[in-house]
Structure 1
Amino acid sequence: MFDIGFFELLVIGVVGLLVIGPERLPETLRTLGLWWGRLKRGIQNTRTEFEQQIGADDIRRQLHNEDIMQRLNSSKDAIARAVGENVDDIQGSMKDVENSLKDVSDSLSDLDNASDTTPSKTGEADHKIGSDIPADDTPAADTPNNTTESSISAEPQEGAQRKPSDSGRH
């Protein structure tokens, strides 16, 4: 408020000592301190009352809330942009994968069609990979991959002999 340094205070003290005298100076300083305090309290009360009348606290709160809302909206927009960019990248990658899968599927179907129509060099028709049916369409009873229900069955077939150890368990 006032820019009073140490030298100015010293000058005021010396002048006060000479004018008022050493006997009345402490009482005068106490009175001035009380008046100063009352003046400060009065200014503070006036300021508080004025701020209440114009609603300065509400205005400050509203400005603070608006600032926070602006920050939140800018953060929300930044996040939405980032997510949108990522979604676009992901969709582009998905389209690339779909196209690749379609190309592979087309290649496989072309290859399958070509193998179905082309006879083999030995004169037999080609068969699909992993098929257990021989090319001449006869049942393969002696092939190791062809297992019948009777060979897997746990029940002994008619005419099969029982071992002596089997009869003791029943």
Structure 2
Amino acid sequence: MFDIGFAEILIVAVVALVVLGPDKLPGAIRTVGMWVRRIRSAVGSIQSEISEELRIDELKRTAAIQKSELDKELDEMRQPFNEAHESLTATKAPSVEELKEQANAEELKTSEQSKIEK
């Protein structure tokens, strides 16, 4: 990751031994190890969250594409029914009131005809 070789690690160890001394060096190494572990854990957590968000985003895009395709197919399936509905509404059927008026008119005709026949 950092491309650090054995020679660089050896130089850092010697400098740390000279600066910190032999009594503080083990505690410093433990502290550095703890911080490196925490940083790696945080980086790993962030990477997993990012990959999860990317996966969720891809799933949302796929779902949106499939929904649009299904909506298009649904519209194609509805088209004949819409045309049939339009043709039925275009040919106006007589309303209930018109039918009642026609029935009343026929009753009047039959009653007038029966009066005439009598």
Q: Given the two structures, how large is their TM-score scaled by the length of structure 2?
A: 0.48
Q: Given the two structures, how large is their TM-score scaled by the length of structure 1?
A: 0.35
Q: Which has the larger radius of gyration?
A: 1
Q: RCO higher in 1 or 2 (8 Å CA, sep ≥ 6)?
A: 2
Relative to its length, the structure with more helix (as a share) is 2
